[in-house]
């Protein structure tokens, strides 16, 4: 599991409390005004520094719905537009620098434009960008994944996590001969209809227009980190598979408890249910073997993405030969095999970037160091907020972290969504306005390129925000 956190940073105010505030005698009626003024100042600063991004956003609104290519990338008053990226930094079209803790939706564990990856890709570009035939690179990356991921003996590649989850569910149904599947409240498995259920609170509200009853009627939702709740909801059901994120993504960075995952594994064995780990986020991040290695709990099918692509589009699903062979359309006739395919599946450029990335991560040293840094970040952020008298919970595992403004324990997505989301957005926007990028309400992650200076800046700007938030309360 996780390495111990490093010691917290000493207070910058010596023996005095970090958030000691001498307030005016006017009382509580100034609190809201102070808070609103602080937010307005941060937003004004952001707007003044990003005029070219504002122009681009106005253009984008005319040709892209909501002005973005993915809804989560929008934030108030408008997103900045990146011109280039290197290491731990993003640079926008106004040449502002941001320490990046979003890292391409958590995909870039080696940071932006890692030289080992870009050099390998540059070489491959001269050999061709897309073949549409079999090639050695797909075999090499498949062998590398099988070498690193426990319980994986065969793999198929896709172009996104959504695709990989879709095909994994289809494979599970084909193998088990059952229609129903179960997923957890707060679990995000991409845009596949059958799994786009109970992602955000309230969980009974449809996640999208256009989702039909037929597409979702065979999906059962389960409570996260609650084994007895799982047993109760599934006791009268026959399900092909249970799919789970070992650390919730959209659900607030909540990690599964080890005993819960182990109990879920045992329950699935008892009921002859396949257990699927959606490791699009956690794969090759928590450990070289992902969450299976980190928690010492094996899944039947593992879904991969993000880190695996080395900065290029990818998804994959893998598992034991007995299960994966149901994809074999040579040995089986229609309709007895589970179909999978895609024009750009196993694209040679992506395979090249993925192989270069996994080679660097294979021995586990870089990941172990990141996990220690992640534990330190969670501990110190919590210390900063608590010293300032703010009710905050930090979630995450390994090099993943998230902040929740609540005094209640955050053990599932219900608790994560019950926290004060407005404060979380204000905090994120304050960081962005001051040169740190965490996509509002989403998980932050670390890369091998983050320096002590980068992490120190996160602490410093968090402390500034916490002091201002504390001042608005007293």
- Single pTM value for the model: 0.93
Domain harbouring 325, CATH code: 3.40.640.10
Same-domain pairing of 123 and 240:
yes
Would strands 97-100 and 436-437 be described as parallel, antiparallel, or unpaired?
parallel
6 in a structural domain: no
13 in a structural domain: no
Q: Which residues contact 339 (CB under 8 A, 6 or more apart)?
A: 170, 327, 329
The DSSP letter of residue 28 is G
pLDDT tens-digit map of 297-343: 999 999 999 999 999 999 999 999 999 999 999 999 999 999 999 99
Same-domain pairing of 125 and 138:
yes
Same-domain pairing of 301 and 380:
no
Averaged pLDDT, 2-6: 37
Per-residue confidence (pLDDT) for residue 24, from 0 to 100: 46
Q: Which residues contact 337 (CB under 8 A, 6 or more apart)?
A: 174, 326, 327, 328, 329, 331
**186: containing domain:** 116-361
Of 361, 391, 422, the residue at which a domain comes to its end is 361
Closest CA to 428 of 401, 389, 410: 401
Q: Into how many domains does the chain fold?
A: 2
How open is the CA angle 238-244-246, to the nearest 5 degrees? Answer: 150
pLDDT tens-digit map of 71-116: 999 999 999 999 999 999 999 999 999 999 999 999 999 999 999 9
Same-domain pairing of 256 and 172:
yes
Averaged pLDDT, 171-189: 98
Please provide the DSSP assignment of 304-344 as one string: EEGGGGTTS--EEEEE-HHHHGGG-TTTS-TTSS-----TT
Averaged pLDDT, 35-57: 89
Averaged pLDDT, 260-277: 98
Averaged pLDDT, 229-255: 98
Same-domain pairing of 96 and 245:
no
> Helix %, strand %, coil % for the chain, to 5?
45, 15, 45
Same-domain pairing of 257 and 298:
yes
Q: Which residues contact 392 (CB under 8 A, 6 or more apart)?
A: 381, 382, 385, 386, 403, 404, 405, 406
- 468, containing H or E segment: helix 452-471
pLDDT tens-digit map of 308-318: 999 999 999 99
Q: How many residues are given for the chain?
A: 474
Domain harbouring 57, CATH code: 3.90.1150.10
* Cβ pair 401, 414 in contact under 8 A: no
Token pair for residue 358? 């996994």
pLDDT tens-digit map of 446-466: 999 999 999 999 999 999 999
For the chain, give the percent of residues with pLDDT over 90: 90
Does the structure show a pLDDT above 50 at 5?
Answer: no
């Amino acid at each position: 599991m996780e390495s111990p956190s490093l010691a917290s940073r000493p207070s910058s105010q010596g023996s005095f409390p970090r958030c000691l505030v001498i307030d005016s005698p006017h009382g509580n009626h100034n609190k809201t005004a102070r808070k609103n003024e602080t937010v307005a100042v941060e937003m004004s600063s952001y707007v003044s520094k990003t005029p070219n991004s504002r122009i681009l956003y106005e253009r984008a609104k005319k040709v892209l719905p909501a002005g973005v290519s993915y809804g989560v990338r929008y934030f108030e008053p408008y997103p900045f537009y990146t011109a280039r990226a290197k290491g731990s930094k993003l640079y926008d079209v106004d040449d502002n620098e941001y320490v990046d803790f979003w890292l391409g939706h958590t995909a870039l564990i080696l940071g932006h434009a890692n030289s080992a990856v870009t050099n390998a890709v540059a070489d491959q570009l001269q050999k061709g960008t897309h073949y549409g035939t079999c090639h050695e690179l797909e075999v090499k990356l498949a062998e590398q994944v099988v070498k690193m991921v426990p319980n994986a003996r065969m793999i198929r590649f896709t172009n996104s996590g959504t695709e990989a989850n879709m095909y994994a569910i289809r494979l599970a149904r084909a193998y088990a001969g059952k229609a129903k599947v179960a997923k957890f409240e707060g679990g995000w498995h991409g845009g596949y209809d059958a799994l786009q259920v109970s992602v955000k609170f309230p969980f009974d509200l449809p996640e999208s227009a256009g989702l039909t009853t037929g597409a979702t009627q065979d999906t059962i939702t389960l409570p996260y980190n609650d084994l007895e709740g799982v047993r109760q909801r599934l006791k009268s059901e026959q399900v092909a598979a249970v799919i789970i994120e070992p650390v919730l993504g959209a659900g607030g960075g909540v990690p599964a408890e080890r005993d819960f995952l182990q109990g879920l594994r045992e329950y699935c064995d008892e009921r002859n249910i396949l257990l699927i780990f959606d490791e699009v986020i956690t794969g090759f991040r928590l450990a070289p073997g992902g969450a299976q290695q980190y928690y010492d709990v094996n899944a039947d099918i593992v879904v991969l993405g993000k880190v695996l692509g080395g900065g290029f589009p990818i998804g994959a699903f893998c598992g034991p030969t007995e299960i994966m062979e149901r994809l074999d359309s040579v040995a089986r006739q229609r309709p007895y095999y589970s179909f999978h395919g895609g024009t750009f599946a196993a694209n040679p450029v992506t395979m090249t970037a993925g192989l270069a990335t996994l080679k660097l991560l294979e021995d586990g040293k870089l990941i172990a160091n990141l996990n220690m840094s992640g534990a330190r970040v969670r501990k110190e952020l919590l210390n900063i907020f608590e010293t300032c008298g703010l009710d905050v919970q930090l979630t995450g595992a390994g090099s993943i972290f998230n902040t929740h403004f609540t005094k209640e324990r955050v053990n599932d997505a219900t608790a994560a969504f019950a926290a004060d989301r407005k404060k979380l957005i204000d905090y994120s926007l304050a960081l962005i306005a001051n040169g740190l990028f965490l996509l509002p309400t989403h998980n932050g992650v670390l890369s091998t390129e983050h320096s002590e200076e980068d992490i120190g800046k996160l602490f410093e700007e968090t402390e500034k925000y916490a002091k201002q938030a504390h001042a608005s309360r007293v």
